[in-house]
Structure 1
Amino acid sequence: MSNQKSILAYQLSSTETVDSFNSSVKTGLSQADVLERRATYGLNSLATKKSINPAVLFINQFKDVLVIILLVSAIISWAVSLISVSGTSQTYSQEFIDRSMACINDPISPSDGASSSCNLASKLAEKEAITIPESSKCQTKELDQQFTVAWGGGTACNLYVMLGMPKLPVSDSSQLLKTNNEGSREAILIFVIVFAIAIIGFLNEYRAEKTVEALKKLVGSKAQVRRAGQIFEIDAIELVPGDVVVLDEGSKVPADLRLISVSNLYANEASLTGESVPVSKNTLAQKGDKPLGDQKCMAFAGTFITQGRAEGIVTATGQATEIGKIAKLVNEVEEEATPMQRKLDDLGKKLGIFILLICAGVFAIIFLFVDSQTGQSLLERSIFAFTAAVALAVAAIPEGLAFVVRISLALGARRMATKQALVRKLSAVEALGSTDIICSDKTGTLTRGEMTVRAIHIDGKTYSLTGSGYETTGKLTIGKKQVKPNEAIFALMRIGVLCNNAQLQHNQILGDPTEAALLVSAAKLGMQDADIRSVWGRETEIPFTSLRKMMSVVTKNPSGGYSIATKGATEKVLALCSHYLTSSGQQKPLNPNIRQQILDENHRLSSQALRVLAFASDNHANQPTSNTQIESNLTFVGLQAMMDPPRSEVIDVIHRVQTESGIRVIMITGDYIDTATAIAEEIGLHGKAISGAELDSLSQAEFEAIVEDVSVYARVDPEHKIRIVQALKKHGHQVAMTGDGVNDAPAIKAADIGIAMGIAGTDASKEAADLILLDDQFLTIISAIEEGRGIFDNVRKFVNFLISCNIAEVLAVTFGILFFDNLILTAAQLLFINIVTDGLPAVALGSDPAQKDSLRQKPTYYQQPILNRRTWVEIFVFGGLMTTALLFQFWYNLHHESILAAVSAGFTAMVVYELVRLIDIRTDYNIRWFSNPWLSVAIASSFVLQFAVLYIPKMASYFEVGPLSRHDWLFMVTGSAVLFAIMKSLNPVFDRIGSETHAVVK
């Protein structure tokens, strides 16, 4: 489609506009003109962004560094399982396994235990036709440091390297590795985990880019157009520049129009400008640059006609319309990774490098330095080295991390939903916690979005009227003293009801918000609109126009005759008045002094950002027949001043979050700067206020220099909002942007956290948002931030826990290989620990409640890395201590019992000590232990599952373990207590190493 001509139509007269498009008001375009222009400009539709390919989105889930490493590990494990190596493919009978396991619990004395076990092992080996190498036969009489092995099918003795005994041949030590079938099952298990993570990520992230689709719905589907001198109803998509369009009350404007004739026309432009009050339209050209909200002779695509009738010439269609420009901005905004995504990606890369380095190192050590004088082939040594590296990779990779993160975010999203915050993107859940700036729309978010009469002026006195919004409860006061309404006040309220086309039904308003406020003010004083209107029947109406700036009605007077009720701009109404009404209901001449007093009070109220209307009346014995008769020699009754008031809870909330939470609130509105400043002062927003026009006059460098000092932006357009967000982000801020209109959609998408209104919000703003406020209340944002902070703490806790576990496993496996020439834990055992016994408590940690005082913590705490310097030191200290305890217990069992006992004790000790680490981490937070019953259930479940693995024969066979002795359990209980005590005693040291702690600042 070719570019449409750039014409500032509001600066041209209606005749000039028609001529510039070679059109005609009377006949419109010819069919030939339409076809020619459609070929040039295309259809009146918005360009849509190419939708996301689900297959591509699913494949993207595998780009995570940790997932790639895990996938490679699974492939290697599977490949290794396909290769049959001499001495590693023996399958053992169940009798051999059962009797070998029984050997561990054989109550023999230490002095004869080795011999007894050796004899049993030899007999079993003989029965299984397995040859025991001479180098491995027991010599208990000469070497009392030796121990026997009744597990693995071939090795009778395995000497501890640290005692200087001969090492076992690799072909024999590799008996601890899995058989072909077991290796393939481990590979399958890893594949299942990887695909589970991918599927969860896919389901959470898959959503079509519907923002532009929502924008398309705003453009009218049908349009009345004059072509070749006749009126046709056509599909709006067929409109072209130069078409003459007819608008009626209730119409949706189908394209951008320059109005050429109007009759009492009002348009609701809230979706485009953000302001909910309908705008009066006219045909007068305007000079200079004007924001959209001030272009009175224009009607814009996507807005609604609330009153009147008009004709206009199409000046822009499709992407060239104001809504089209917004759609283009939405498409151009690139979504960035959330803080957590960036932190987890960084953590994944660091872990990936660490895993690759340590696996490569271990592979090299095994391949190059393990004794190769046994005649083992290069392939056999390579297979063992590969298998050890795979087991190490499995130990190092937190397989459940991605899964637990997503589960935690999903649980947080559910909790937010109960607080009226609907999460559209799970990543937004955590990102809220690190938000330090909230850019909030004024209307409907900081304010109620409901015009409310705040003051009335009668006979020189100004009264306050309490109550907010459309609730019909309120009191009339002077100062702090409640007063009763007098005759003049009742007359003022009656005029407000009669000269009014809105309706109030059960606190619900139908009609213009300004007129609605007048019905509510009367209802607060006990005057119901239905009762008044039933008595004072309307006869005639002179409608409000932008030129007249007032409205009058003629009604029947229940006392006889006819009454006039007039409302409008004070200057206009006052010019028609010859008398004024006193508080007692008497009419007195309106002298210059009284007239000036009224104008001064009008100015005073207006300076407080109040919208002021004047009211007048008159009585006639006969029904007046002309406008001049109706609107002359009126009696001035009084003023009513109204505004869209702040929400009752906003003032306290803003004060609390700015002083205690370190969150700065910025107001961005399409309203006039005086109104915006007055509201800002009332709700406690202090700082500079600038308009969109002033923003245009600043260079980017100049704006970035003052952006930290500005708290109020008024009369801004979508481009301004994006510029504000980008400038704040450039200063390192985490920005949340709220909005409800189409004009807010680009900035909502550009912000770190986009927040849309659920009630007043347009489809476009909702589709661009990460979070939707179901109740449209600012307080809900704060509740969501509090929940986000709790989720950040939870993520930090379980990442700390999982990484602690994996680092400990890496250290244990690595030193096990170095000290014992063997894997003290198999890949299957490590997967079980990482997914089951670690995974369940980690998921439960994700449901921990937020700390009570989380909002008192500064946002910088939540902007730090998930694992800071202090935490890394803790992790490695705990890993070192746990590895020491585990290897000692492994060595002890290997020295006094059997390899089966050693592996079983090491496997179980790993589970127990990691759960001790979980308890250690959680006690650093200000949370009651039993506030999360799921955590207790998860820990108990981990123990139950571990018992099942040890004592259920088939599970024990699969994981190559057996039952533990009493002294094994005693050693683990003692070791757990010692580990916990040491970690707690080192907290002051850790605090000195790191600049901050887990706990909330008190």
Structure 2
Amino acid sequence: MNDLTSNAVREKTSQSGPPLSEPRPVNVAGAPSLGLSQAEAARRLAEHGRNEIQREQTRSPWGVLLEQFRSPMIVLLLGACGVSAMLGEHADAIAIGAIVVLNALIGFAQEFKAERALLALRSMTAPRARVMRDGYAVQLPAAEVVPGDVLLLEAGDVVAADARLLEAHALATNEAALTGESVPVDKAAVPVAADAPLAQRTDSVFLGTAVTRGTGVAEVRATGMHTELGKIAHLLASTSDTDTPLEQRLERVTRTLLMACAAIVVLVAALGLWRGQGWLAVLMSSISLAVAAVPEGLPAVVTIALALGVQRMAARHALVRRLQAVETLGSATVVCTDKTGTLTTGTMEVREVWGANPHAVLFASAACCDASLGPDGKEGTGDPTELALLRAALARGIHREEIERDRPRVAVRPFDSETKRMSVLRADGALYVKGALEVLLPRCNAGTEGALEAMRTLSGRGLRVLAVARGSGPEEEGLELLGLVGMADPPRPEAVTAVAAARAAGVRTVMITGDSQETAQAIGRELGILLPGEDAAERIHARVTAEDKLRIVRRWKERGEVVAMTGDGVNDAPALREAHIGIAMGRTGTEVTREAADLVLTDDNFATIVTAIREGRAIYENIRKTLVYLLVGNVGELMLMFAASLVGLPLPLLPLQLLWINLVTDSLPALALVMDPARAELLSRPPRRPDEPMLGRSQWHHILLMGALEVAVVMGVFVWTDPVEHVERARALAFSTLVFAELMRAFAARSATRIFWEVGPLTNRLLLGVVLFSAGLQLAIYELPAARALFGLGELHLWELGLAFALGLIPATVLEVSKLVRRWKRG
């Protein structure tokens, strides 16, 4: 038997070999005698450019910082800050400006940290290639490879450019990053149709793919952006960033507030001028109304809520590049996910052995193998299929090292894509053969009964089937078929649970893979993605290209779904960019994919996505209830100021007092509210409708009623104190009553259905501490003459502060009682 590897290129200039100035001569059968000369290569490099994929520009620190000021709410606050400064209200301007800056710094710190972490994931060494130059094999940076170069390939190499094979010996490449195909592709120097699908171009190798076994020689046909990888990078230009559902919903709320604020300010200004008030008094009233209407703490609350989600997700193996990405997953209705390495383990595994003696089947498999397991018995070097065979053999106590020691090899016929088999003759005269059943079956005269039926059964389960036979002597004839081995990339155990959890949460899981339809559907059924009676075409997409993935994402978006897309290969990048949220794999993903993503999974695990969905829903719930809490206060303040202007009373609260309420006694409890722990039932409910507003009818109804109740309480105490004669004292009592009402209502705001002791007062100790701290600050104002003067307040007696506290309990008490009444009506 001939050793067919004898004609392959054996000599490799490695990183540890001689320097580039000492090239070695190589005789390559079938290749041009010289390849390119250095002069011609230099000319082509100037003509075609460097062999590089144009990387997306990473965001600069200034770019990340400026993005924090995009929100309409921030723009509104900056406007209020400018107006206050022009009118000499410097305390107001400083306070508003501080909130804006704090919000920007928090967002910048989180997103810039994510950018730095992303950079750390990139390879720190430039890839290199071995090519023929002036008749010698030289190693040079892959960026200097040009069309016409002759590449020398062997196992472990990363292909430096798109190239047509001139010679191939047992050559196979891993094209998962480009095509999604999980199994190494056998290559041969036999031309295929020029219009063949990418996954079927067995006569070519492609930039960025890895050689898993064998050797080869190939002539470069395309470099850089002209390669298949470059074409996919071009698709990124056809995609666009999509505003997240949270951004869209908050923008709608902001627009509503702006329109309501503008209408009331104009109305009050017109009313004041009609009554003959001076323009300065009218302007002061308008500023007071504007300050009352704007929830100054909202941007900081949203940013901190998302930042906390980022921290929690980092602890769960997810790196968030954009703060809003955490909440977006909570809105997801469809998750389009890659199979290999995400839903599955990413390694081949023997799932089933058919044959009279499974031990003999695995022994022969280990005896006809070139791969080697590592010391741990898991990792190793060589073809993934052979590593799977060795792991299964090791589980039965079969060690390849012992076979090589006790029965040394005499001759080897390597696996070849044309013969579709491999054989090893050992010193004891036994010949071990493995390969495709259709190739081995005609060469066997024993053990073949039932083999074809078993082959169809195993293939129907989505398994890759390998036949194993044994003979004697060097000739591959008169063999005994020992059995069949069924292999597959098995599902992650936690992925099965995660898919079920996603289904229970109303989130569709759609599997997109480069594998065959049979394999994809088998894995889909095993994972629970495809249940009996469901349309496979809706849930499973096989043999897809980059264009197909982009089309699938766009189709779901057109149907009004919120789409999350996962991927690890360059062919996933356009779809990741197009989706509402792109999720890249950190361990196996390519750099282009990670740059296109909003979130990077450092464990490449689908279960992490489901965890993120729960986290996102919790963040949304916390933001919404906190927004309702803030707006009850702001709407109440707006009604209070409008009512006083309408009846001709002095302003119940000055702009600085309103700002104090919004920033201290509203915003501080709001920051604690947004940190409420996630409720257990979040994943048992369907996702929010994509068109569902942040604040629906029930929320606005609650805001208006509770705001009106606060107005009634505060206006009552203001009028009772006689504001015409004692305006500073009246303002002081109204001020304290409103502050205490807001602080007490924070406890009731934690749940729309459960009263505060059912929620658990100690499950959010921060809120308890913040309320006590804010109440202390409020009381301190009346003890410090300078503070009273700054806020324009009169002095209050202790009994009056007690009265303000008692009156402040009314809104929270009414809210809690209403929950009990609704529960009683529902039975």
Offset at residue 53 of structure 1 (A): 5.6
Offset at residue 513 of structure 1 (A): 1.8
Partner of 2:468: 615
Partner of 1:936: 768
Please state if 1:542 is matched with 2:387: no
SS at match of 2:721: helix
Structure 1 residues 51 and 892: alpha-carbon distance in aligned structure 2, compared to 1, 3 A threshold: same
Q: 2:95 aligns with which of 173, 189, 192?
A: 189
Instruction: Specify the code of the residue in structure 1 equivalent to 2:768.
Output: S
Partner of 1:599: 452
- Following the alignment from structure 1 to structure 2, what is the Cα–Cα distance between the partners of residues 575 and 211? 56
Partner of 1:66: 73
Partner of 1:394: 291
- Following the alignment from structure 1 to structure 2, what is the Cα–Cα distance between the partners of residues 816 and 235? 76
Instruction: Specify the code of the residue in structure 1 equivalent to 2:792.
Output: E
Instruction: Specify the code of the residue in structure 1 equivalent to 2:75.
Output: I
Per-residue CA deviation, residues 548-571 of structure 1 (Å, 9 max, x unaligned), is: 211122334xxxx34322211122
Structure 1 residues 287 and 59: alpha-carbon distance in aligned structure 2, compared to 1, 3 A threshold: closer
Q: 2:275 aligns with which of 369, 377, 381?
A: 369
- Following the alignment from structure 2 to structure 1, what is the Cα–Cα distance between the partners of residues 668 and 199? 56
Partner of 1:27: 34
SS at match of 2:688: helix
- Following the alignment from structure 1 to structure 2, what is the Cα–Cα distance between the partners of residues 981 and 347? 28
Larger Rg: 1
The alignment's C-alpha RMSD in Å is 3.2
Structure 1 residues 708 and 396: alpha-carbon distance in aligned structure 2, compared to 1, 3 A threshold: farther
Check whether the contact 1:219–1:254 (CA below 8 A) recurs between aligned residues.
no
Please state if 1:80 is matched with 2:83: no
Q: 1:383 aligns with which of 250, 259, 280?
A: 280
- Following the alignment from structure 1 to structure 2, what is the Cα–Cα distance between the partners of residues 977 and 211? 48
Structure 1 residues 276 and 219: alpha-carbon distance in aligned structure 2, compared to 1, 3 A threshold: farther
SS at match of 1:554: strand
Partner of 1:436: 333
Partner of 1:524: 395
SS at match of 1:419: coil
Partner of 1:740: 568
Partner of 1:451: 348
Partner of 1:91: none
Offset at residue 391 of structure 1 (A): 2.2
Structure 1 residues 220 and 548: alpha-carbon distance in aligned structure 2, compared to 1, 3 A threshold: farther
TM-score under structure 2 normalisation? 0.89
Q: 2:482 aligns with which of 637, 644, 647?
A: 637
Partner of 1:876: 704
Check whether the contact 2:292–2:637 (CA below 8 A) recurs between aligned residues.
yes
Per-residue CA deviation, residues 172-208 of structure 1 (Å, 9 max, x unaligned), is: xxxxxxxxxxx32322222222222333344445589
- Following the alignment from structure 2 to structure 1, what is the Cα–Cα distance between the partners of residues 683 and 800? 46
Q: Percent identity?
A: 37
Number of residues paired by the alignment?
791
SS at match of 1:612: strand
Q: 1:237 aligns with which of 120, 132, 143?
A: 143
Structure 1 residues 78 and 934: alpha-carbon distance in aligned structure 2, compared to 1, 3 A threshold: same
SS at match of 1:732: coil
Offset at residue 26 of structure 1 (A): 2.8
Per-residue CA deviation, residues 636-659 of structure 1 (Å, 9 max, x unaligned), is: 22221111222223334433432x
Partner of 1:284: 190
Structure 1 residues 860 and 923: alpha-carbon distance in aligned structure 2, compared to 1, 3 A threshold: closer
Map 1:477-492 onto structure 2 (within 5 A): 488-492=357-361
Partner of 1:566: 433
Check whether the contact 2:336–2:511 (CA below 8 A) recurs between aligned residues.
yes
Offset at residue 228 of structure 1 (A): 4.7
Please state if 1:682 is matched with 2:526: yes
Check whether the contact 1:667–1:712 (CA below 8 A) recurs between aligned residues.
yes
- Following the alignment from structure 1 to structure 2, what is the Cα–Cα distance between the partners of residues 27 and 745? 38
Partner of 1:956: 788
- Following the alignment from structure 2 to structure 1, what is the Cα–Cα distance between the partners of residues 125 and 552? 28
Q: 2:251 aligns with which of 345, 370, 393?
A: 345
Instruction: Specify the code of the residue in structure 2 equivalent to 1:672.
Output: S
Offset at residue 942 of structure 1 (A): 1.7
Q: 2:378 aligns with which of 502, 508, 513?
A: 508
- Following the alignment from structure 1 to structure 2, what is the Cα–Cα distance between the partners of residues 449 and 398? 49
Instruction: Specify the code of the residue in structure 1 equivalent to 2:790.
Output: Y
Partner of 2:11: none
Q: 2:367 aligns with which of 492, 498, 508?
A: 498
Please state if 1:271 is matched with 2:177: yes
Check whether the contact 1:28–1:244 (CA below 8 A) recurs between aligned residues.
yes
Map 1:760-771 onto structure 2 (within 5 A): 760-771=588-599
Partner of 2:547: 719
Offset at residue 687 of structure 1 (A): 7.7
Please state if 1:198 is matched with 2:26: no
Check whether the contact 1:502–1:509 (CA below 8 A) recurs between aligned residues.
no
Structure 1 residues 29 and 528: alpha-carbon distance in aligned structure 2, compared to 1, 3 A threshold: closer
- Following the alignment from structure 1 to structure 2, what is the Cα–Cα distance between the partners of residues 188 and 216? 42
Q: Which runs of 5+ in 1 are unaligned?
A: 1-22, 82-182, 372-380, 460-487, 581-594, 621-628, 690-705, 992-996
Offset at residue 451 of structure 1 (A): 1.7
Check whether the contact 2:741–2:812 (CA below 8 A) recurs between aligned residues.
no
Per-residue CA deviation, residues 812-850 of structure 1 (Å, 9 max, x unaligned), is: 222233445433222222222111111111111121111
Q: 1:665 aligns with which of 493, 499, 509?
A: 509
Per-residue CA deviation, residues 391-432 of structure 1 (Å, 9 max, x unaligned), is: 221111111111110000111122222333332221111111
Per-residue CA deviation, residues 610-638 of structure 1 (Å, 9 max, x unaligned), is: 11112222356xxxxxxxx2533333222
- Following the alignment from structure 1 to structure 2, what is the Cα–Cα distance between the partners of residues 708 and 392? 58
Instruction: Specify the code of the residue in structure 2 equivalent to 1:42.
Output: G
Structure 1 residues 555 and 336: alpha-carbon distance in aligned structure 2, compared to 1, 3 A threshold: same
Instruction: Specify the code of the residue in structure 2 equivalent to 1:418.
Output: A
Per-residue CA deviation, residues 437-477 of structure 1 (Å, 9 max, x unaligned), is: 11111112222222222221223xxxxxxxxxxxxxxxxxx
Offset at residue 756 of structure 1 (A): 2.0
- Following the alignment from structure 2 to structure 1, what is the Cα–Cα distance between the partners of residues 806 and 116? 59
- Following the alignment from structure 1 to structure 2, what is the Cα–Cα distance between the partners of residues 542 and 819? 100
Instruction: Specify the code of the residue in structure 2 equivalent to 1:67.
Output: I
Offset at residue 949 of structure 1 (A): 2.0
- Following the alignment from structure 1 to structure 2, what is the Cα–Cα distance between the partners of residues 551 and 779? 39
Which piece of structure 1 moves more, 534-543 or 432-441? 534-543
- Following the alignment from structure 2 to structure 1, what is the Cα–Cα distance between the partners of residues 535 and 102? 45
Structure 1 residues 56 and 685: alpha-carbon distance in aligned structure 2, compared to 1, 3 A threshold: closer
Structure 1 residues 913 and 55: alpha-carbon distance in aligned structure 2, compared to 1, 3 A threshold: same
Partner of 1:314: 220
SS at match of 2:342: helix
Per-residue CA deviation, residues 1-43 of structure 1 (Å, 9 max, x unaligned), is: xxxxxxxxxxxxxxxxxxxxxx983333456654554454333
Which piece of structure 1 moves more, 524-533 or 786-795? 524-533
Partner of 2:693: 865
Check whether the contact 1:688–1:712 (CA below 8 A) recurs between aligned residues.
no
- Following the alignment from structure 2 to structure 1, what is the Cα–Cα distance between the partners of residues 185 and 294? 61
SS at match of 1:290: coil
Q: Which runs of 5+ in 2 are unaligned?
A: 1-29
- Following the alignment from structure 1 to structure 2, what is the Cα–Cα distance between the partners of residues 417 and 762? 20
Which piece of structure 1 moves more, 192-201 or 334-343? 192-201
Check whether the contact 1:737–1:754 (CA below 8 A) recurs between aligned residues.
yes
Instruction: Specify the code of the residue in structure 2 equivalent to 1:502.
Output: A
Please state if 1:978 is matched with 2:810: yes
- Following the alignment from structure 2 to structure 1, what is the Cα–Cα distance between the partners of residues 514 and 125? 22
Partner of 2:641: 813
Partner of 1:129: none
SS at match of 1:782: helix
Structure 1 residues 422 and 963: alpha-carbon distance in aligned structure 2, compared to 1, 3 A threshold: farther
SS at match of 1:444: coil
Per-residue CA deviation, residues 835-887 of structure 1 (Å, 9 max, x unaligned), is: 11111111111211111111121113575211111111111111111111101
Structure 1 residues 56 and 502: alpha-carbon distance in aligned structure 2, compared to 1, 3 A threshold: closer
Instruction: Specify the code of the residue in structure 2 equivalent to 1:319.
Output: M
Instruction: Specify the code of the residue in structure 2 equivalent to 1:542.
Output: R
- Following the alignment from structure 2 to structure 1, what is the Cα–Cα distance between the partners of residues 536 and 793? 63
Offset at residue 345 of structure 1 (A): 1.2
Which piece of structure 1 moves more, 356-365 or 293-302? 356-365
